[in-house]
Chain A
Amino acid sequence: MSFVIDRIFGTISAVGAYAIGGVRAALELWMVFVGTIAGIWRMYGRRGARRPAGALVEQMHIIGNRSLLFIVVTIGFIGMVMIYQACLQFSRAVGDLSQVGVQFLRLIVSDLGPTLTAMMLSTRVGAGIAAEIGSMKVTEQVDALRMSGVLPVDYLLVPRFLASIVMTLGLSILGCAIMYGAGGLTAWLSFEVNPRVFFDVSMVRPRHLILGLMKALAYGAAIPIVSGFCGLRARGSSEGVGWATTAAVVGSSFAVISIDFLLSVGALWLLGGDL
């Protein structure tokens, strides 16, 4: 009997510990976000603030330019696959492929382009940020920063945050273009859809562009915050860095998917069938 009771209490306390850990992590994540926003003001809003020279440009280079080839390759291939599957289904079900390009563009601009680009960026950029900050944390460089009177969030996260927002926007636009181009090429070569019919932009309206850009902005903000938070939580030695990097990839990918879901449902709720 006491065995059963112990078991039940054990389960309850495990669930409770899990919940407390989750709430504490969420609060900490929120504090990192608020700290970063405040840090932007401290670093760039005031005159005479001490800024690390060239940090923003360096981060933009690392996050944006270094991801260029990766994004082009992965997004290009996934664009080809998507349009291949779509053409296959349309030719079976409807038999008319003239609508594929128009609908595909609407889908790319308002969802697939920014989301898939951000999924790819959250593996590359998220892992990179967490690995870098996590290594600094376990080698006590973060504590050294704090000792010199510099807030680690200001020094480490603010440049990454700003650079990631700018570069995610840029790379999302590029991703859309590449996906659309690769899709058009596939439709032309494999299904003989005339490129003039495929590249028809008449269905895209400003609301689709705005929705896509809003998503890209939210992803760009979420990825460095989540991964920076995971990096700052790294403990131990090399194993801790590995854990932090794993958590950053999973956390930022999941953040991308859930933001996508929330914004898509919100837009559908606001606009209904007009979307």
Chain B
Amino acid sequence: MLGENAITNIGSRAVAVSRELGGITILFAQILRALVPPRLDTRELVKNLHKMGNRSVPIVALTAFFTGGLMVVQAAPFVQRLQATSLAGWAAGYAVLREVGPILIALMFSGRVGANNTAELGTMTVTEQLDGLRALAIDPIRYLIVPRVVSMMVMLVCLTVIGDLIALLGAMLVAKAVLDIEFGIMYASFVENLAPEDFLHGVYKSLAFGLSIAVTSCYFGVTVRGGAVGVGRAVNAAVVAAAVSVMLLDFFLTYLNV
């Protein structure tokens, strides 16, 4: 009996996951289709760019600052043991630009912007505003979803660039405070050991992260059912799906590029 139950459970989980993957793919195709004659609602786009980008700068800056500092703190035992101060900039800069910076900023972005987007679209769905738009012959995908997807992609890239800079500054400050390494030495270590590819690797990853966060959060937003409880559940599902997709994309993009 127990075995049968477990198999049923696994099967229904698998079906649910495939249904969601299929739904996300269809939504993605619809978004691409809506982009073909590229008519964007400019007002909605600008509003979203401001809300998603500018308003996220403080939290992204704080996260990035701590991330840069943490990388130096993690490298500190070696640096102190080997007396190799030039290593600190290499380790911290490389880790921040290629991996930790884009991932942590994307996770924060998914928490702040992605979850918020799901909540907003979910509320609109629950209160039947999407049907209202359809009744007015306005395509909700073109009017609501495409501007959001575009602004999330653009803004995550911008925030990653800003965040990288702040993380490197944070690394310099923490290196000065904890290890007593002069700013000039850290700067020289960054310049010597980091290549433009390291930076670009992080940036193009963040473009992919932005797309996946946008599409998953919109999907879970427009498929909400069941009032306030449903909106909460959808936001939960959206952040989980965004986190998984960020990790998977990170893995594949790291392998493809080299």
- Chains A and B belong together in one complex: yes
Cβ of B227 to closest chain A Cβ, rounded Å: 6
Let me know if A239 and B232 touch, CB within 8 A.
no
- Whether A202 is near chain B, meaning CB under 8 Å from some CB there, is no
Which residues in chain B, 59-93, are within 8 Å of chain A measured between CB atoms? 59, 62-63, 66-67, 69-70, 73-74, 76-78, 80-81, 90
The closest CB in chain B to the CB of A78 belongs to B247
Known: A135-B229, A246-B235. A273 touches B77 (CB 8 A): yes
Judge if A84 is at the interface, Cβ distance under 8 Å.
yes
What 0/1 pattern do residues 132 to 144 of B give for CB contact below 8 A with A?
Answer: 0000000000000
On whether the beta carbons of A138 and B228 are closer than 8 Å, the reply is yes
Known: A70-B244, A257-B66. A127 touches B236 (CB 8 A): yes
Inter-subunit contact B243/A246 (CB<8 Å): no
Residues on the B chain within 8 Å of A243, using CB:
116, 119
Q: Contacts A124-B240, A264-B73, A268-B76; is A77 near B66 (CB within 8 Å)?
A: no
Q: Is there an interface contact between B115 and A272, defined as CB atoms closer than 8 Å? A: no
B70–A249 contact, CB under 8 A?
no
Find chain A residues with CB under 8 A from B239 CB.
123-124, 127, 245, 249
Q: What mask results when residues 111 to 148 of chain A are scored 1 for a CB within 8 Å of chain B, else 0? A: 10000000110011001101110110011000000000
B63:A254 contact, CB within 8 angstroms: yes
In chain B, residues 229-257, which have Cβ atoms closer than 8 Å to a Cβ of chain A?
229-233, 235-236, 239-240, 242-244, 247-248, 250-251, 254-255
- A74: which B residues are within 8 A, CB to CB? 243-244, 247
Across the interface, do B251 and A242 meet the contact criterion of CB distance under 8 Å? Answer: no
Q: Are A242 and B232 in contact (CB under 8 A)?
A: yes
- In the complex the two chains form, what is the Cα distance from A120 to B245 in whole Å? 12
Q: Given that A77-B251, A88-B258, A265-B178 are known contacts, is A245 also in contact with B235, CB under 8 Å in the complex?
A: yes
Q: Of the candidates A77, A78, A246, which one forms a contact with B119 in the assembled complex, judged by CB atoms under 8 Å apart?
A: A246
Chain B residues with Cβ below 8 Å from A81 are 99, 250-251, 254
Q: Is there contact, CB below 8 Å, between A238 and B227?
A: yes
| Measured CA separation A132–B232 after assembly (Å) | 7
Query: Which of B1-9, B103-111, B154-162 participates in binding chain A?
Result: B103-111
Check B123–A239 contact: CB distance below 8 A: yes
Bound: A107/B115 CA distance, A: 31
Smallest Cβ distance from A142 to chain B, in angstroms? 13
B122 touches A258 (CB 8 A): no
What residue in chain A is nearest B115 (Cβ atoms)?
A246
CA A124 – CA B174 in complex, angstroms?
31
Q: Is A73 interfacial (CB 8 A cutoff)?
A: yes
Known contacts A249-B115, A250-B112, A268-B77, A124 near B70 by CB under 8 Å: no
Output the nearest chain B residue to A124 by Cβ-Cβ distance. B240
A177 interface residue (CB < 8 Å to B): no
Tell me if A209 counts as interface (CB < 8 A to partner B): no
Please pick, from A84, A93, A265, the residue contacting B73 in the complex, using a CB distance under 8 A.
Answer: A265
Interface of A is mostly: helix
The residues of B that contact A241 with a CB separation of less than 8 Å are: 119, 228-229, 231-232, 235
Is B240 touching A273 in the complex (CB atoms < 8 A)?
no
Q: Is B148 interfacial (CB 8 A cutoff)?
A: no
Interface 0/1 of B35-71, CB less than 8 Å to A: 0000000000000000000000001001100110110
Complexed CA–CA distance, A70 and B243 (Å): 9
**Are B81 and A253 interface neighbours, CB within 8 A?**
no
Bound form: Cα–Cα A237–B66 in Å: 35
A245, B251: Cβ atoms closer than 8 Å: no
Q: What separation, in Å, do the CA atoms of A156 and B229 have in the docked complex?
A: 16
Q: Is there contact, CB below 8 Å, between A250 and B111?
A: yes
User: Is the pair A260, B116 in contact by a Cβ cutoff of 8 Å?
Assistant: no
User: Can you name 12 A-B pairs with beta carbons within 8 Å?
Assistant: A78-B247, A81-B254, A107-B74, A124-B239, A128-B236, A239-B120, A239-B123, A241-B232, A242-B119, A245-B239, A258-B66, A261-B73
Q: Which residues of A contact B (CB under 8 A)?
A: 70, 73-74, 77-78, 80-82, 84-85, 88-89, 93, 103, 107, 111, 119-120, 123-124, 127-128, 130-132, 134-135, 138-139, 237-243, 245-246, 249-250, 253-254, 257-258, 260-261, 264-265, 268-269, 272-275
B residues lining the A interface (CB < 8 Å): 59, 62-63, 66-67, 69-70, 73-74, 76-78, 80-81, 90, 94-95, 98-99, 103-104, 107-108, 110-112, 115-116, 118-120, 122-123, 126-127, 174, 178, 227-233, 235-236, 239-240, 242-244, 247-248, 250-251, 254-255, 258
Q: Which A-B residue pairs are the 8 nearest by beta carbons?
A: A242-B119, A131-B232, A249-B111, A273-B80, A238-B231, A238-B228, A246-B115, A245-B235
Q: Contacts A85-B254, A268-B76 known; list 5 others, CB within 8 Å.
A: A78-B251, A89-B94, A131-B232, A249-B112, A253-B111
